[in-house]
Amino acid sequence: MIGGFIVGNQTSEVLVRGIGPSLTALDVSGALADPMLELHDSDGALLASNDNWRSDQEAEIEATTLQPNDDLEAAILRTLAPGAYTAILRGVSDGTGVGLVEAYNLD
């Protein structure tokens, strides 16, 4: 799954989440069991990646109060310059299923 977003005229702190397992609580069948998230800039360069949000930036992500509900879900917190960005959500070990990409501008 690919999600795109644009950071406007000023640098912003952005939280990008890759949601899968917690979708089952919302009666979504076939949810992605173990999502992995990549963040790319407009040139396609990889800026960051995450599998299991607690493995990186746990305290910073919790401080936003927008941390994922499931430890297997992915999240990236970055300060981004104005421009276009792409978030790619995929399953670990080529897993498939229903997922959700979310981007929150925290500024």
Instruction: Classify domain 2-105 by CATH architecture.
Output: Sandwich (2.60)
73: closest CA among 57, 87, 95, 54?
54
CA angle 77–28–63, rounded 5-degree value: 25
From CA 101, how far away is CA 51, in angstroms rounded?
A: 14
Residue 1 banded pLDDT, cuts 50, 70, 90: very high
Cβ pair 22, 71 in contact under 8 A: no
**Looking at residue 58, what is its pLDDT?**
96
The per-residue pLDDT for range 46-100, each reduced to its tens digit, is 999 999 999 989 999 999 999 999 999 999 999 999 999 999 999 999 999 999 9
H helix runs in 9-100, sequence order? 58-63
From CA 28, how far away is CA 65, in angstroms rounded?
A: 24
Domain limits, the chain: 2-105
The per-residue pLDDT for range 23-52, each reduced to its tens digit, is 999 999 999 999 999 999 999 999 999 999
The model scores a pTM over 0.85: yes
